[in-house]
């Protein structure tokens, strides 16, 4: 079918999470047996125990797709978001912050269930973040959370890979992908984390092969998805599987693959303060520029600028003004 004009550029679906960010020495990561730079799922008890051991922190809205939506909206995109918070103070914070940047967030809060999800983020002196997520209310996100009319109203539906962790979200994922394609829209997926890919490889592979148009991944995530030691080999397999593969490579910039075309994007260098949200901001910049009709080089450039803005500060949502970036792309 031919799509009618989209009301939103981007609809994000993800785990709605409030971040608790604190600086720690490297010894804290090893003492608590964490995998540095990765995201681990923890239960309520472990969250309480780890929180008690953590230094004083700063709370701010997070969640991978939530961050992407917020940054894309700051960059001028029209954005909607689906995610499950609870009817509590942290849920109110999440709702306030995503609404404050103009993101449409229709998901009602969960009443009488688990609290709003928290991610305990430990930032080491090298700027790396190690994340520990208590999913809380996110586990109740399911097919019923996805309004097909909202999906049909968005040019791109963006799904975070972390959403494969809560039990009922994969069904929501598939429903959203089907509704998007039914309406002639695009489906984008971020692989989120190599260990998340490892936990759900078969489901990810099926989704990527059959339902994803735009794939975001970093080198270790794409290598994990295809179980290839060399990310370049994995990248070629992604080229065959999806219309557009966008591969971030840290300080080496990024590589965009579309059919026979390969676009190398130089990184925007900056002081590394905290890498939390760098990939989310990259996807935001890319999609904001892509849905504005910019060429791939411009999309990559807008993506890199957004990522650099986030890396140069504490927290995943940039304080820098990014409003002119897409127009310049």
Count Cβ atoms below 10 Å from residue 182 Cβ, excluding itself.
12
The b/e string for 130-140 (b: 16+ C-beta within 10 A; e otherwise) is: bbbbbbbbbbb
Specify the residue, 262 or 313, whose C-beta has the smaller distance to a copy of itself. Answer: 313
| By the rule CB under 8 A, 58 interacts with a copy of itself | yes
Helices (H), 200-295: 201-211, 219-226, 231-241, 278-291
Give the Cα separation of 227 and 233 in Å (integer): 10
Q: Which pair of structure tokens corresponds to residue 287? A: 């999609």
Give least dist CB 92 to a copy of itself, A. 8
Distances (CA, A) of 328 to 205, 309, 324: 36, 16, 6
Specify the residue, 54 or 244, whose C-beta has the smaller distance to a copy of itself. Answer: 54
The residue assigned the tokens 């949502």 is 317
Among the residue ranges 49-57, 145-153, 185-193, 213-221, the one whose residues contact a copy of itself (CB under 8 A) = 49-57
| By the rule CB under 8 A, 317 interacts with a copy of itself | yes
From residue 108 to residue 137, the character string flagging contacts with a copy of itself as x (rule: CB under 8 A) and all else as - is -------xx---------------------
| By the rule CB under 8 A, 51 interacts with a copy of itself | yes
Q: Are strands 39-41 and 186-190 parallel, antiparallel or unpaired?
A: unpaired
| By the rule CB under 8 A, 84 interacts with a copy of itself | no
Among the residue ranges 5-13, 88-96, 186-194, 212-220, the one whose residues contact a copy of itself (CB under 8 A) = 88-96
Specify the residue, 286 or 314, whose C-beta has the smaller distance to a copy of itself. Answer: 314
Binding positions for a copy of itself, rule: CB under 8 A: 23, 51-52, 54-61, 70, 88-90, 93, 96-98, 100-101, 115-116, 314-315, 317, 319
């Amino acid at each position: 079918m031919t799509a009618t004009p989209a009301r939103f550029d981007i609809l994000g679906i993800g785990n709605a999470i409030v971040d608790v960010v604190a600086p720690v020495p490297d010894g804290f990561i090893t003492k608590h047996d964490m995998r540095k730079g990765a995201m681990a799922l923890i239960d309520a008890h472990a969250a309480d125990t780890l929180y008690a051991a953590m230094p004083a922190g700063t709370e701010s809205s997070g969640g991978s797709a939530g961050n992407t939506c917020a940054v894309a909206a700051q960059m001028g995109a029209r954005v909607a978001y689906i995610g499950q918070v609870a009817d509590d103070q942290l849920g109110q914070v999440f709702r306030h912050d995503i609404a404050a940047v103009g993101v449409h967030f229709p998901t009602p809060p969960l009443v009488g269930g688990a609290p709003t999800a928290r991610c305990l983020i430990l930032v080491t002196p090298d700027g790396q973040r190690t994340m520990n997520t208590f999913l809380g209310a996110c586990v109740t996100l399911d097919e019923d959370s996805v309004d097909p009319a909202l999906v049909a109203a968005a040019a791109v539906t963006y799904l975070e890979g972390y959403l494969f962790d809560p039990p009922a979200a994969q069904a929501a994922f598939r429903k959203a992908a089907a509704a998007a394609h039914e309406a002639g829209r695009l489906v984008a997926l971020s692989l989120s984390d190599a260990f998340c890919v490892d936990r759900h490889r078969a489901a990810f592979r099926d989704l990527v092969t059959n339902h994803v148009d735009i794939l975001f991944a970093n080198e270790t995530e794409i290598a994990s998805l295809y179980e290839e030691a060399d990310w370049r080999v994995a990248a070629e397999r992604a080229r065959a599987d999806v219309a557009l593969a966008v591969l971030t490579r840290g300080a080496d910039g990024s590589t965009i693959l579309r059919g026979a075309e390969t676009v190398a994007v130089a990184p925007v260098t900056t002081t590394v303060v905290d890498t939390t949200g760098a990939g989310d901001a990259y996807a935001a910049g890319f999609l904001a520029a892509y849905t504005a009709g910019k060429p791939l080089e411009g999309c990559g450039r807008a993506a890199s600028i957004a990522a650099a803005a986030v890396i140069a500060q504490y927290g995943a949502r940039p304080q820098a003004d990014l409003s002119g970036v897409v127009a310049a792309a």
